[in-house]
Amino acid sequence: MQKSIESLISTFSLIRSGKASASIFDRVMVDLYGSTTPLNQVASISTPESRLIVIQPWDKAALTAIEKAILASDLSLNPNNDGKVIRINLPPLTEERRKDLVKQAKTEAEHHRVSIRNARRDALEQMKKAGLSEDDEKKDKEVIQKMTDSAIKKIDGLFSEKEKEILEI
């Protein structure tokens, strides 16, 4: 259940909100010197302003490869290369795009809720196979249910935080 919560946090960090975040580039891979490398391993990524991301490669020869990787990604961002660094101005999100992002976050949250319920089901099956007494089984069921409720409450909280972040203007 904890892994599912951590996975959701990671997934939510990749969903773009109105603010600049270096984590949106976590899945961007750069073709450099014949191999694909994560962007954060070939450049430093900073956010000096709320709507500006600056990518400074450690090797100036990587500038065009980084620019191509960003354009090829599904982030819909337009990088500006000045020969030393790449600057990306994040446009304000439209109302329609915000609603789409909230739907995406809601879908991810639901997938993770299902994952937690599956973990509960697996735990209950293992408990039945263990051959515990009725009293122990009842206590363990209550503990498992409390853990499940707590995890789902945590996911609901994470979703509401992300929804506020996305809808914030």
Query: Coil, strand or helix: which one is 56?
Result: strand
The reply to whether the predicted model has a pTM over 0.85 is no
* CA distance linking residue 3 with residue 20, whole number of Å: 26
* CA distance linking residue 38 with residue 27, whole number of Å: 7
Query: pLDDT digit of tens for each residue in the chain (169 aa)?
Result: 889 988 888 888 777 666 777 778 888 899 988 889 898 889 998 888 878 889 999 888 888 899 888 888 877 788 888 888 999 888 777 888 888 888 989 999 999 999 999 999 999 898 888 877 888 888 988 999 999 999 999 999 999 998 888 887 6
Helices 95-130 + 134-167 axis angle, to 10:
170
Eight-state DSSP code of residue 93: P
Residues 140, 40 contacting (CB under 8 angstroms): no
Beta strands in the chain (DSSP E): 29-32, 35-38, 43-49, 52-57, 80-81, 86-89
* CA distance linking residue 52 with residue 151, whole number of Å: 35
